[in-house]
Amino acid sequence: MLTKYDAIVMGAGPAGSSAAILLARAGWSIALIEKQAFPRRKVCGECIAASNLPLIEALGIAPGFDAGAGADLHQVALICGKRKVVADLPPARHARYRWGRALGRETLDTLLLEQARSTGVRVYQPWSVQAIEGEPAHWRCTIASVDTGSTQTLHAPVAIDAHGSWASLPSARMRQRRRRKASDLLAFKANFHGAALEQGLLPVLLFDGGYGGMVVTGGGVTTVACCIRRDRLVACRRLSCRSSAGDTIEAMLKRECDAVRLTLQSARRGGPWLAAGPLDPGIHLHAADGFFRIGNAAGEAHPIIGEGMSMALQSAWLLCANLLGAGHRDKLLEAEWQREIGRNYEMQWRRQFAPRLRLAAGFATMAMRPASAALIMDITAAWPDLLTMGARWGGKTSCAVDAAMIARFLNHNGNGLTTIGDRT
């Protein structure tokens, strides 16, 4: 069995599978490692901004995406208690892809993984990373089968970390074991059938100690997701007779957000609430250890602006454009060449995504405090266009990948891309 590859990609979410597809189409041999079986539900918002849809098409999954996604998202609503402000979302400048849509992660992740497999990627699933050792140009990765416990050691010059929000590489797991804090943000999500949410509307929920959102995905399924401080959840559970944290969350949202209560009045929940956390917003790039990081492994924004999917897809493209753009595949075994690629990629990543992280952090902090949330509602009620502008500032219409880069990828002959685009 093959154990030597050009690159090992750890994590088969949107970032990892996208990177695997792009590199495999350029002629690289890729091992893609994923510890969970697909399809899998995940605590994650499911909105995909319009700026990402050309990337979805270029990755080859547009037919499946179109068949499974919800309606075009034309409006955003800011909701706090009984108050509601509605504004138009800004359209993207692409001729065909003007509006974002929502698609369940169980569908999107499966589409991308199957596309990676059909592109020639060697998929190890369900396998988990037990250890990764070495340095750029010389990596050894020990993986174990979740089903049988058998192990293998893979070798590659390039290692790409694409783990999700609540996973990590073995080297980071000990660092992540810390005491629980009252300020920890925990995430919850549930799907509902028969809800009364208007298609094409993207509500953002503000409530004491947290924030959330709702959206209609494919098949008329309404997703409700939120993040809540640990101390607020504990307080809600003390006052609630519900047996589970998810049921407590649902009761709290219905009690504190009129729009949620009305939307779910006649709805039927499809399965239990999913829970995960705590969130770890911020930039996680660490050039010193030699890994290339994409998706949430590179950096995580507060999900209040719904840009997690954008950062996952676009960071994968940025990294691959750097790896392929140098046009020297024979240099994969040169550690300093990889470090230079990493420095260039990190600089571009920060330029593209750091402003979104700052905006999301500021908005989330204000949203979770009743006094500042009320001020936000007052201001947006007077100037609803601020919501439109905020969506634009948050990256809904901009992309780290330009049209020329996509075209070069589609015509790629294995010799590498040549330049990095800034924005569409």
Over the stretch 271-293, which tens digit does the pLDDT of each residue have?
999 999 899 999 998 767 789 99
Q: Over pLDDT 70: what percentage of the chain? A: 92
* pTM exceeding 0.95: no
Instruction: Dump pLDDT digits (tens) for 21-58.
Output: 999 999 999 999 999 999 988 888 789 999 999 999 99
Residue 423 has a pLDDT of 30
Give the containing element (helix H, strand E) for 211: strand 210-216
Q: Which amino acid is at 201?
A: L
Residue 287 has a pLDDT of 64
**Tokens for 223?**
């997703």
Q: Which amino acid is at 206?
A: L
pLDDT band at 413 (very low <50, low <70, confident <90, very high): very low
How does the average pLDDT of the chain come out, rounded? Answer: 90
Instruction: Dump pLDDT digits (tens) for 78-134.
Output: 999 999 999 999 999 888 999 999 999 999 999 999 999 999 999 999 999 999 999
Distance between CA atoms of 234 and 245, rounded to whole angstroms? 9
Is residue 422 scored above 50 in pLDDT?
A: no
Nearest 5°: the CA angle 259, 280, 298 is 115
Distance between CA atoms of 325 and 405, rounded to whole angstroms? 10
pLDDT band at 328 (very low <50, low <70, confident <90, very high): low
pLDDT band at 406 (very low <50, low <70, confident <90, very high): confident
Residue 404 has a pLDDT of 79
Distance between CA atoms of 93 and 212, rounded to whole angstroms? 28
**What Rg, from alpha-carbon coordinates, does the chain have?**
21
Domains of the chain, by residue range, sit at 7-174+280-410
Instruction: Dump pLDDT digits (tens) for 343-369.
Output: 999 999 999 999 999 999 999 999 999
CATH fold of 7-174+280-410:
FAD/NAD(P)-binding domain (3.50.50)
Strand partners, 275: 188
- Residues 410/318, Cβ–Cβ less than 8 Å: no
Is residue 9 scored above 60 in pLDDT?
A: yes
